[in-house]
Structure 1
Amino acid sequence: MVEILIFRDDEGLLRELSVDGHAEFSDGEDGGDIVCAAVSALVGYLGIAFSDVAPRMGSVWADDGAFRLRVSPECVSAPEQVLMLQTWVKAVTQLEENYRGWVKVEQRKWAQETI
């Protein structure tokens, strides 16, 4: 299962997120895991956004089956960052709705250095 944790501060702003695991939703063929492919595409989008396009807005870390994003404190309420992350959360939430049992999204209260 892919587990997505979203950490929000007291104002509801997204501060950190993590993505871990593999969906293992496969049709038996290599590359047939459409759920992992969808999650990977969405995570890749964040990786590009926060490492290449707007690196000052946050830091990312990725490894096989794991991804972390920490939003820079000075950019947490930047309109472009809020829009980008709200859209991403909506997309992964829709994946969870359509693929229950393979994707789980959980929102938690943020504490500094959560992940």
Structure 2
Amino acid sequence: MSKLLVKLVVNALFTVPLLLYLSNATPFQALMASLSLSILAFFLGDQWILDEFGNAAATLADGLLAALFVGAMGTAYHWGLSWSALAVIAVVTAAVEFGYHLLLRRWDVRWYS
């Protein structure tokens, strides 16, 4: 549970300000999008892809998931996101996720073997 909580907080620290700056999202929408994306990425990327395929694949998957999810939310809520804004959000999310995966590795010794 603490791993998910850390992910929610760390991702929110980066994605919420980016969404507020790069789109027309309200603070509530940005926070809900960040939390939803983090939960999806935790179960898909961290619990499945990271275990099966490693950090590089999980980082790529998290970046792509961020672009697709934020793009879909932006379209649904008319946030006015540009392609470059989506790219920035995806790259920043991937970078944050890369660091988070390294932190997970420190917490979980099974990846060392």
TM-score category (smaller protein) = 0.3 to 0.5
TM-score by length of 1: 0.38
The structure in which a higher percent of residues are strand is 1
The structure in which a higher percent of residues are helix is 2
TM-score by length of 2: 0.38
